[in-house]
């Protein structure tokens, strides 16, 4: 609380650090006592080893800083340790594997955290460029989050550190889940994911902002005749679907190329190949349905891919998502003033661009009719297609009970120039919007869009905020 309110003092920081060590000793000591009562009592030693490795982190950090190094971050901060331990205690069958993961990552934490100290104004030495990153091409621009983004959110972007306890908890949960997915065998990590998914869905259902926006969006898709009881049931299914998306996202980095390929059945992939034969690239325009990251990883195995990504808060969460997508095999370009020029270069290289285009994040899109109400959606896909001569193929990813995941890639829409560029952009964007409607209607409860999409959403969100 003191850090969040900017009232921390050296004495308080010292007390906080000591209290953390004492609480770690009590918690892991209790786990050791519990394991000692098992028929395999020697497992208690594992909990004590995790405790020892955790205590060593404080010494490593203090020693590194005394020698002039920075010692921040690392593989297994305290928040990640507590989250993983909570998962292990909640599902006792995985407690020992979780402790092994904690021991390995905690032991490596210090080495990963220590780095040379960089003076203000200096650049950190490059660690070596990645062949799949675009850091050397696209300058990091801060994307806008929409009309409802307030001053507090913009202030958070100005500071690279996590700014609130809620953000720390959120980032720790995502990072710990990813570590579990990468450290454990896929079968064990999948079992943990399936067991945790209902808990995450319950968390989402408890967030009034998410459920309210989901209710409004589903009413647009299902129509005004849908009953309140049916609408509530569909919202619950939507939250279950969103929880599944995140549980699967944690497992994606640990999946092999063959596992990714076998997990999804794609319809219409020939449309991508035929479009690329013209040499101008292809734009794969998608809504936020199903597991779009898995679909992107699948397509990246058959064609060079680039995805446009939205900057998230906190920045560490954005970097984590970006790292996951790079490991899946596709490049990323952040939304910003330089994105258009960068994407044009990628189209000239005959790449496939993946664009999620069912939300107007910047508030500067093209006016269209979307599920019966006027709103604005991004005009970027149409602008790129008209200028580069690249076809647009409407696409979507869905969870499928028969095959696990299903990808759908439609035939190219008409992007021929007929007059002024602005008029053509409006026409093509409306055509694309109509195709996205059809794809969303195939699985309304898999449309993971919880941001204001129509003007009426903005008004409703503002009313809810001031209640």
What is the secondary structure of 127-178 as a DSSP string?
A: ----TT--TTTS--------TT--HHHHHHHT--S--SHHHHHHHHHHHHHH
Q: Tell me, what's the pLDDT at 122? A: 44
Q: Distance between CA atoms of 134 and 212, rounded to whole angstroms?
A: 37
Q: Tell me, what's the pLDDT at 69? A: 63
Q: Distance between CA atoms of 150 and 363, rounded to whole angstroms?
A: 14
Tokens 């034969």 belong to: 277
Tokens standing for residue 35: 């394991």
Question: CB count, 10 Å around CB of 161?
Answer: 12
Tokens standing for residue 272: 């991508």
Burial 72-100 (b: 16+ CB within 10 A, else e): eebbbbebbbbbbbebbeeeeebbbbbbe
Q: Where are the alpha helices (DSSP H) in 160-301?
A: 165-183, 186-205, 208-222, 228-251, 257-263, 269-276, 292-300
Helix (H) or strand (E) holding 323: helix 315-327
| Cα angle, residue 183 at apex, residues 178 and 189 outer, rounded to 5° | 70
Q: Tell me, what's the pLDDT at 91? A: 74
Which 8-state DSSP code applies to residue 446? G
Residue from 261, 266, 299 nearest 282 by CA: 299
Rounded to the nearest 10 degrees, how much is the dihedral formed by the CA atoms of 253, 198, 450, 317?
-40
Residue from 461, 390, 392, 401 nearest 433 by CA: 392
Q: Distance between CA atoms of 120 and 126, rounded to whole angstroms?
A: 16
Q: Tell me, what's the pLDDT at 194? A: 81
Burial 166-186 (b: 16+ CB within 10 A, else e): ebbebbbbbbbbbbbbbbbee
Q: Which residue ranges of the chain lie beneath pLDDT 70?
A: 1-8, 13, 38-42, 59-61, 63-76, 107-183, 461-467
What DSSP letter does each residue of 357-411 carry, written as one string? -SS-SSS--EEEEETTEEEEE--HHHHHHHHHT--EEEEEEEEETTTEEEEEE-P
Q: Distance between CA atoms of 229 and 219, rounded to whole angstroms?
A: 12
| Cα angle, residue 180 at apex, residues 264 and 104 outer, rounded to 5° | 140
Could you tell me the residue ranges of all domains in the chain? 10-116, 170-457
Tokens standing for residue 33: 């006592």
Q: Distance between CA atoms of 132 and 323, rounded to whole angstroms?
A: 10
Tokens standing for residue 435: 């195709």
Q: Tell me, what's the pLDDT at 323? A: 81
What is the CATH number assigned to the segment(s) 10-116? 1.20.120.1760
Rounded to the nearest 10 degrees, how much is the dihedral formed by the CA atoms of 32, 37, 43, 45?
40
Radius of gyration for the alpha carbons in the chain, expressed in angstroms and rounded: 24
The pairing of strands 114-116 and 69-71 is antiparallel
Q: Distance between CA atoms of 237 and 48, rounded to whole angstroms?
A: 42
Which 8-state DSSP code applies to residue 351? P
Phi/psi for 375 (5° steps) reads -160, -175
Q: Is the peptide bond before 126 cis (omega within 30 degrees of 0)?
A: no
Q: Distance between CA atoms of 253 and 178, rounded to whole angstroms?
A: 8
Q: Distance between CA atoms of 45 and 47, rounded to whole angstroms?
A: 5
Tokens standing for residue 216: 């409004």
Residue 305, SS3? strand
Q: Distance between CA atoms of 424 and 383, rounded to whole angstroms?
A: 9
């Amino acid at each position: 609380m003191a850090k969040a309110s900017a009232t921390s003092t050296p004495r308080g920081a010292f007390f906080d650090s000591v209290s953390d060590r004492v609480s770690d000793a009590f918690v892991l000591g209790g786990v050791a006592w519990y394991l000692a009562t098992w028929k395999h009592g020697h497992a208690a030693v594992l909990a004590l080893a995790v405790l020892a490795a955790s205590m060593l982190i404080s010494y490593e950090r203090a020693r590194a800083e005394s020698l002039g190094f920075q010692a921040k971050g690392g593989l297994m901060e305290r928040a990640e340790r507590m989250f993983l331990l909570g998962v292990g205690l909640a599902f006792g069958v995985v407690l020992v594997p979780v402790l092994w993961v904690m021991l390995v990552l905690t032991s490596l934490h210090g080495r990963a955290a220590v780095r040379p100290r960089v003076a203000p104004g200096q650049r950190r030495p490059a660690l070596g460029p990645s062949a799949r990153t675009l850091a050397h091409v696209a300058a990091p621009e801060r994307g806008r989050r929409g009309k409802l983004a307030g001053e507090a959110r913009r202030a958070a972007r100005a500071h690279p550190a996590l700014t609130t306890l809620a953000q720390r908890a959120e980032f720790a949960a995502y990072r710990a889940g990813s570590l579990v997915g990468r450290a454990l065998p896929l079968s064990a990590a999948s079992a943990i994911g399936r067991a945790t998914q209902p808990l995450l869905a319950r968390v989402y259902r408890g967030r009034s902002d998410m459920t309210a926006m989901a209710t409004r969006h589903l009413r647009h898709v299902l129509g005004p005749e849908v009953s309140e009881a049916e609408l509530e049931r569909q919202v619950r299914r939507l939250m279950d679907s969103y929880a599944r998306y995140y549980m699967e996202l944690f497992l994606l980095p640990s999946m092999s190329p063959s596992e990714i390929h076998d997990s999804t059945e794609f319809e219409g992939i020939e449309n991508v190949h035929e479009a690329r034969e013209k040499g101008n690239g292809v734009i794969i325009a998608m809504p936020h349905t199903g597991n779009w990251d898995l679909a992107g990883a699948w397509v990246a195995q058959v064609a060079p891919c680039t995805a446009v990504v939205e900057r998230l808060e906190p920045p560490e969460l954005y970097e984590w998502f970006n790292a996951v997508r790079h490991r899946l095999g596709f490049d990323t370009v952040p939304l910003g003033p330089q994105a258009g020029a960068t994407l044009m270069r990628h189209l000239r290289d005959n790449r496939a661009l993946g664009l999620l285009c069912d939300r107007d994040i910047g508030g500067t899109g093209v006016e269209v009719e979307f599920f019966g109400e006027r709103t604005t959606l991004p005009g970027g896909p149409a602008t790129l297609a008209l200028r580069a001569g690249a076809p647009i193929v409407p696409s979507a990813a869905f969870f499928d009970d028969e095959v696990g995941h299903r990808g759908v890639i439609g035939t190219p829409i008409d992007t021929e120039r007929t007059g002024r560029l602005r008029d053509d952009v409006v026409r093509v964007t409306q055509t694309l919007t109509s195709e996205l409607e059809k794809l969303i209607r195939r699985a309304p409860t898999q449309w993971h869009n919880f941001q204001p999409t129509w003007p009426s959403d903005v008004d409703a969100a503002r009313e809810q905020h001031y209640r």
